[in-house]
Amino acid sequence: MRVTRGSEVVVGDWPTSPEVVALLECSGALLAWDVLVDAPVPAARVHDVDRAAEWLWEVYGDAADAILGGAAEVGEPGPGDRRVRDACRRVAQLNWASAWWPASVTAGVPAFNTAVLHAELAVEVSAVEHLLDDPDAVERALAAVVPLDASDPALTALAGRVSALAEDYGVVLPAAEVPRQSGFALAAGGLDGGRGGIAALSGSSTVDWSLVPHGAVDAAAPATWAVVRRQGRTVVEVSVVPGPKPGARLAARFGDVEVALDGVDEVGRLTGSTPVSAAVLLLPPDRRELVVYAPDFAEPAAPDPAAGPRRAAIIAYARARTTSPTATLTERTAR
């Protein structure tokens, strides 16, 4: 593994796209795995050598001394006790799922149960507590836990571990109703929503995951647009399929036009429309780009041409995780 040195020490190849980063914030360093790369050892960014020196050996073994001692290249750790490193990987994977899991009816990727994620995260965080930057990490994780579905035998063991962990830390688990796994339907139908009119132009664009909160829209369904002539007016209409956690305020930008996605049509799509000048019909093809975003979350940005293949790979990866014996319980119980 390559080691580069500057304002921080970087070990290995740091993932280049945020959607693939399974991240763990440790004392003095960040650890990251690229979910699309089957690498047992993480990349690291060490920003405080003294603090990281207290635990780095538990992840990198004998290579930790070389990393901290100025080496430009280190070998990957050999066989040995991998329990801490594997626990770090599980916490990082759960962090990735919380931020980037691409739930999509369109692509057949089920949504995970957030109650399972919070419970599993609390248990896994307790195994790496001594590495973390937050001395109250376990207590914070337990504070997010709600009761699990007692009728599901797959969750019985996890519920018992969480209960024992809460007792050890003196945390009273909050009484709350078990959150139901809400399904989300794939919307379908014409671009015009059945309101009549002539669609002079129409098209679709993928939604940039980084511009909307996680779960706000279906991760694989395209956002559609149409320039419609209706009753002597020209309007641009936009629709997007909601995800498992709708509710964020969404908008779309088409050319120079802003459209608030504040409606819901008869098949459940989030919709919006706004009057436009007929000159919009003269927009060159490269400006007929629809960008969906959440105004309170991100600013609209031009699409990344490399995003499509990468996100397709992430969707395939997530779909495979639901049946993988090495996946987290959160991923395996996604429905």
Cβ–Cβ under 8 Å, residues 111 and 215: yes
In angstroms, the Cα distances linking 279 to 189, 237, 284 are 27, 16, 11
Residue among 217, 9, 10 nearest 103 (CA): 217
State the pTM of this model.
0.88
Number of residues in the chain = 335
Would you state the pLDDT for residue 146? 92
> Would you give the end-to-end CA distance of the chain in angstroms?
38
Would you state the pLDDT for residue 285? 83
Would you state the pLDDT for residue 245? 94
Residue among 167, 163, 95 nearest 125 (CA): 95
Supply 227's token pair: 């320039």
Residue among 97, 125, 122 nearest 112 (CA): 97
Supply 287's token pair: 């400006």
Would you state the pLDDT for residue 189? 43
Q: Give, for all 335 residues of the chain, the pLDDT tens digit.
A: 999 999 999 999 999 999 999 999 999 999 999 999 988 899 999 999 999 999 999 999 989 999 998 899 998 887 667 899 999 999 999 999 999 999 999 999 999 999 999 999 999 999 999 999 999 999 999 999 999 987 888 899 999 999 999 999 999 987 645 445 444 544 444 444 445 567 788 999 999 999 999 999 999 999 999 999 888 889 999 999 999 999 999 999 998 899 999 999 999 999 999 999 888 888 888 888 999 999 999 999 988 888 999 999 999 999 999 999 999 999 999 98
Domain coordinates in residue numbering, the chain: 3-100, 114-181, 198-308
β-partners of residue 261 are none
